[in-house]
Amino acid sequence: MNERETLKINADGHLEIGGADAVKLAEEFGTPLYVFDEKHIRDMMRVYKRAVDVEYGGNGLVLYASKAFSCEAVYAIAKSENIGVDVVSGGELYTAIKAGFPTDKIYMHGNNKLVRELELALANGVGCIVVDSYKEADILDELAAARGVKQRVLIRTNPGVEAHTHEFIQTARTDSKFGFSISDGAAEQITKHVLSKNNLVLRGYHCHIGSQIFEKSSFALAAEKVMDFIALMKEKLGFEVAELNIGGGFGVWYNDDDPKLRLTDYYGYVKTLIAAVKSKAKEHNISKPYLLLEPGRSIIGEAGVTLYTVGAIKDIPGIKKYVAVDGGMFDNPRYALYQSKYTVLLANRANEECTEKVSIAGKCCESGDLIAVNVPLPAANSGDILAVLTTGAYNYSMASNYNRNFIPAAVLVTEGKAEYIIRPQTYEDLVRNDVLPDRLK
Ligand SMILES: *Cc1c(COP(=O)(O)O)cnc(C)c1O
């Protein structure tokens, strides 16, 4: 397996992303700019697919969890890699359809899917809908009946394994807006309910235990708990499960508090959880279910870098030095939301030693508009190009037009060449949906 080589420093001392000089990208496309390395994305999709092929005889499907980064190009890449995708809204589904993604390989999630979202899914033959409430099961059954179709569904369960960044806990009952708890009988009750629906075909169960998880055993434990439940449902209800969807959540490197995983490590995660599924199938004497994995962050996270131009620098002696950039919480709200950690560097002076600790501030009118706090950097000057690493997942997809700033463009780099996958916005885009009633003119 070739290792991913997304980031390099070239002979000019500039950061390179997928073989493209970041300083030149900033000149050509402007900043802020999201940059994605296509090879990295494909390598990650392939390692998961290969693990399912080799370790499980190909009896499964990798789904790219597209809420991590959704745009037409990424669905086209997933399609060409022969994997599936999951979507969590009508908008993501529409984007996948527009990109020509085969709808039978789309799984749809959501704790409160709207009727129009379910309609869109049914009208386009979405492969599977992951049911997360009684109401949804009832509505979906009616909508399917009206169309004369039988819709494949899974039930979202809570196996009582909760994972946090570097650790996980087992709980008797999970406090979550998602899913039906296995331990308290809720998952069994909804199973009976869905089985009673004439227009729904219950294929099995889904679980997703969290995100940014590094603990191998947490995935295996979740798989074991759901497999035990599958055996129980066979025994109690005579229900034979065809599919098990184990969710996503594999961690990525953001800064040096995180392990830097290799492709073989990701392969290892899948191998471990597949071993758990196999051994439980044997123990309970049940057939091995068709297996689904839903990695999002780990496919796209480290493939992305955001480039900014340094502007104002404010040194408050003895307190903090703020280095302000031309982006902020409108292109990356993750620090503001949950104090996420990032690694930053000066793309035009990538070889220089870090001599100070600074905080990277955005340009929004909000004190909490920060990208990173107390991170090492060489003494930055106005005009330097600042790169924030590992911004491929949950950055563009969480971006907004706060303060009527532009959501930045995104480029995809392939063998050193970059092209737009998301065009830059214009002022005209910002007022496109505004309405000025005559009486206010
Ligand atoms: C968010 C999510 C994923 C992907 O999680 P990552 O941590 O990005 O891998 C997969 N499945 C479901 C249901 C999700 O909500």
User: What would the DSSP string read from start to end of 147-200?
Assistant: HT--EEEEEEEE-SEEE-SS-EEE-SS---SSSEESTTSHHHHHHHHHHT-TTE
Catalytic positions: 365
Question: Cα torsion for 369, 371, 377, 381, to the nearest 10°?
Answer: -50
Give kind and range of the element (H or E) at residue 87: strand 84-87
CA distance linking residue 29 with residue 225, whole number of Å: 49
Residues 202-255 have pLDDT tens digits of 999 999 998 999 988 999 999 999 999 999 999 999 999 999 999 999 999 999
In percent, how much of the chain has pLDDT > 70? 97
Helix axes 115-123, 134-147, angle to 10 degrees: 40
Q: Model-level pTM? A: 0.97
Nearest atom in ligand 1 to 212's CA: 7
Domains recognised in the chain with CATH numbers? 7-31+304-391+395-426 (2.40.37.10), 38-300 (3.20.20.10)
- What SS3 class is residue 7? strand
Q: Give the mutation target among 63, 112, 208, 226 for probing the ligand 1 site: most ligand atoms within 8 A of CB.
A: 208
Residues with CB under 6 A from ligand 1: 65, 67-68, 86, 109, 208, 211, 247-250, 294-298
Cα 32 to middle of ligand 1, angstroms:
26
Q: Which amino acid is at 128?
A: C
Nearest atom in ligand 1 to 63's CA: 10
Query: What's CA 126's distance to the chain center, in Å?
Result: 20
Peptide bond into 32 cis (omega under 30): yes
Cα 367 to middle of ligand 1, angstroms:
30
Cα 434 to middle of ligand 1, angstroms:
34
Residues 277-326 have pLDDT tens digits of 999 999 999 999 999 999 999 999 999 999 999 999 999 999 999 999 99
